[in-house]
A and B are shown apart, each in its own frame.
Chain A
Amino acid sequence: MKPSLSLTRRHFLGTAAAFGGAAVAPSLLPGQAHAAGSLTVGFIYVGPKDDFGYNQAHAEGAAAVKAMDGVTVIEEENVPETNDVQNTMQSMINFDGAALLFPTSFGYYNPHILELAPKFPDVRFEHCGGLWGADDPKNAGSYFGYIGMGQYLNGIAAGHATKSKKIGFVAAKPIPQVLNNINSFLLGARAVDPSITCQVIFTGEWSLAVKEAEATNALADQGCDVITCHVDGPKVVAETAAARGAYICGYHADQSPLAPEMYLTGAEWNWAGVYTDMVTKFMAGEPIDNFVRGGLADGFIKMSPLGPAVSDAARNQFEATKAEIMKGGFAAIKGPLKDNKGNMIAAEGEAFVESDVALESMGYLVEGVIGSTS
């Protein structure tokens, strides 16, 4: 998709039309976006929707909704987690008649969605992050996926690929969802070889290109030869790691086009199914659960196709474990297991399955992860 910089014929015609027909611009007519019997769905992203990451994963889901009959999709990108998002949501409701909103960034929920949902009881707010609690408005919901399982599978691919027995993780902030990914990544690798360690570096921001590159370089300097990440846009990490000769496990979306030879696999969101499902239910007037979770088996997440560097042994273990996870009830965190400060987190025989809510307040890094949570 090479974009053209030249002034095309279409461009020119557009210009001519802009001179002429502006007086009756259709976008100014009221109710333009919601004709009778159709539904307007609003998607709000915190960053650019083609970031090879978090926002792109959601935008791909939105694209699937766009293809549905009787649905109009409106989108807005780069909306910060401030009062701005409240204004954006209200603007979508007031001006476009949106009845179903997908504010996709974690920080949109509290206080912004919680503030607006009671004021617009007829509008449905579906938030990504898994934050809904029983006291929250009934017309709000928050969904999330067990993507830690994807990182566990990433870890298996990494465990087979690493020669130095050191793998690396570039993380934004030490919060439960990130810690769960780091731990799962290492435990997957340790399912291959228990001597493997994982080095983690926090950048402190969800999107900060130079720091992500520096963190990746620092990991490579320490000998990490497989690197994954949890930042909003993994493009910089993937490209920098590949340039340093490290293998990459992807996250959020498929980054294999960035470094096809070095890309092992990746833990991807699979929002298309989730979103079309919710929209179908909403249009049929069926209730949508407020608290929605799902994993690999439910189609909430998926794995990127295995790359050329993945060995047969790795492929076998990867597929076997994936089949295991697909059965449901898989636990990455199971006893005996200590955290990296020596505290017991799971006794012999104890296991936290993927759907265990306790994992959502994880505050530790498991033994073998080099790094600290604060």
Chain B
Amino acid sequence: MNDTATASLGIPRPALAKWLPRAEAVAIPLAALICGLVVFSLFLLTQGKSPIEFYALIYKAGFSTAFSWQNTLSRVAPLLFAGLCVALPARLGLVVIGGEGAIALGGLAAAVLGASMAGASPLIGLPIMFAGAALVGGAWIGAVGWLRIRRGVNETIASLLMAYIAIALMNHLVEGPFRDPASLNKPSTAPLTDALRVGDMPIGVEVHWGFAFGVLACVISWLLMDRTTLGFAARIAGDNIRAAQVQGLPVGKLVIGFTALGGAFAGLAGFFEVTAIHGAANASLVAGYGYTGILVAFLARHNPLAIIPVATLLAGFEASSGLIQRRMDLPDATILVMEGIVFVVILLSETLYGRLPVFNPRFWETRA
């Protein structure tokens, strides 16, 4: 066998080195997804229910018609943002689990700013609300990073505690100082004017702009992480803080910057919930997206691009929950069981990376 640029089957070696890892990153989770669904099928069979019917309903409710896609995609936006809030700090080795709080406060900030600019044109009002939500969310999670660097406070517990504090603060402000007196039985901030609402994208189904911005946020984050020196520095710091410090990397600034950026994205989830869905801030902002985001980020292995398909898959599962309840007479928790099983199997499959000979360039060479 010669050692030049070409390997067997006419595929150049650099191409193999480039594409095999990518194929691996797609094939392993997909195979694991299928395995997970098979395992869940066994569970369904013990319950006397048909797996084929079940999966057909998921397809029908989540992915078949235009409405199915609307049902799925309209659930994706907050998961993208919440996932980024976990994934970005995770690249630095930080486990931030408090995105829920930044969503609540970001949404509140957008609503309060919007209510104070009732007559404003959307061109002025929306950017200010957008920036306000991002700033508040960024400051809240950035503070977690700051506490970590300056005071050595563990970010996992700090972010969780601060999430509960943020939600209490939001509830207090919504029922107290910022309450619209006309919001009688559901205390809310003053309703936004129609001009300050974010509408649906012109794609034929009702999915608001949060989806496009969420996808954009994932792409930007990926570029930042994989294509800039800043991202490179962050990954070094994530692998080994000491080494990063020895190399003179500004670890403190990186930690604060990336936690703040993640928080800003979580704040934007709140912005879109308020401007596109609720039209005001109220207790409905606390819907658990922040916690689902943790799962999304870990399933995506903290890769911002992978967050998009993972969030979409999860949204599709959630979208089908209703139809499954109604058609198969299964409890609403069935989807939770399926998600649990499927995700455990997918995460377990991570052990296969680098172990399957088929994804090793040598496998193809020895065939020559």
Interface residues of A (CB under 8 A from B): 7, 10-15, 17-19, 21-23, 25, 27-28, 32-33, 74-84, 86-88, 90-92, 94-96, 106-107, 110-111, 129, 131, 173-177, 204, 360-361, 374
Asked if B325 and A95 sit within 8 Å, CB to CB, the answer is no
Asked if B171 and A204 sit within 8 Å, CB to CB, the answer is yes
With contacts A25-B52, A90-B67 known, is A83 near B325, CB below 8 A? no
B51 on the A face (CB < 8 A): yes
Chain A residues within 8 Å of B279, by CB: 111
Residue among B60, B287, B322, B323 with most chain A CB within 10 A: B322
Question: CA–CA, A77 to B332, complex, Å?
Answer: 7
Chain A residues within 8 Å of B61, by CB: 91, 95
Asked if B175 and A76 sit within 8 Å, CB to CB, the answer is no
Choice from B48, B65, B185, B282 contacting A11 with Cβ under 8 Å: B48
Question: CA–CA, A360 to B184, complex, Å?
Answer: 8
Asked if A174 and B175 sit within 8 Å, CB to CB, the answer is yes
Question: CA–CA, A82 to B276, complex, Å?
Answer: 11
**Nearest-CB distance from B366 to chain A (Å)?**
43
Choice from B67, B184, B319, B328 contacting A27 with Cβ under 8 Å: B328
Choice from B186, B187, B278, B323 contacting A91 with Cβ under 8 Å: B323
Within 8 A of A (CB), among B26-81: 44-53, 56-57, 60-61, 65, 67, 70-71, 74-75
**Nearest-CB distance from A208 to chain B (Å)?**
12
Chain B residues within 8 Å of A11, by CB: 47-48
Choice from B51, B60, B75, B284 contacting A87 with Cβ under 8 Å: B75
B277 on the A face (CB < 8 A): yes
Nearest residue (CB) in B for A28 is B56
23 residue pairs from A and B, CB less than 8 Å apart: A10-B48, A12-B48, A14-B47, A15-B47, A18-B45, A19-B45, A22-B51, A27-B327, A74-B326, A77-B325, A82-B277, A82-B287, A86-B74, A87-B70, A87-B71, A87-B75, A95-B60, A95-B61, A106-B185, A111-B277, A174-B175, A176-B184, A176-B185
Asked if B186 and A27 sit within 8 Å, CB to CB, the answer is no
B127 on the A face (CB < 8 A): no
Asked if A91 and B71 sit within 8 Å, CB to CB, the answer is yes
**Nearest-CB distance from A30 to chain B (Å)?**
10
**Nearest-CB distance from B242 to chain A (Å)?**
43
Nearest residue (CB) in B for A79 is B322
**Nearest-CB distance from B43 to chain A (Å)?**
11
Known: A11-B48, A83-B74. 19 other contacts (CB 8 A): A12-B48, A13-B48, A15-B45, A18-B48, A18-B50, A19-B45, A25-B50, A27-B57, A33-B326, A76-B326, A77-B325, A77-B332, A82-B273, A82-B277, A82-B287, A87-B71, A87-B322, A90-B71, A111-B279
Question: CA–CA, A87 to B273, complex, Å?
Answer: 15
Chain B residues within 8 Å of A13, by CB: 48
Residue interface bits B184-214, CB-to-A below 8 A is 1, else 0 = 1111000000000000000000000000000
Choice from B50, B75, B326, B328 contacting A75 with Cβ under 8 Å: B326
**Nearest-CB distance from A234 to chain B (Å)?**
19
Chain A residues within 8 Å of B75, by CB: 83-84, 87
With contacts A28-B56, A28-B57, A374-B175 known, is A107 near B186, CB below 8 A? yes
**Nearest-CB distance from B91 to chain A (Å)?**
30
Chain B residues within 8 Å of A131, by CB: 185
Chain B residues within 8 Å of A33, by CB: 326
Choice from A7, A18, A32, A177 contacting B49 with Cβ under 8 Å: A18
Asked if B326 and A96 sit within 8 Å, CB to CB, the answer is yes
Chain B residues within 8 Å of A12, by CB: 48
Asked if A28 and B45 sit within 8 Å, CB to CB, the answer is no
Nearest residue (CB) in B for A90 is B67
**Nearest-CB distance from B317 to chain A (Å)?**
13
B14 on the A face (CB < 8 A): no
Residue interface bits B267-282, CB-to-A below 8 A is 1, else 0 = 0000001000111001
**Nearest-CB distance from A111 to chain B (Å)?**
5
Question: CA–CA, A361 to B53, complex, Å?
Answer: 49
Nearest residue (CB) in B for A8 is B48
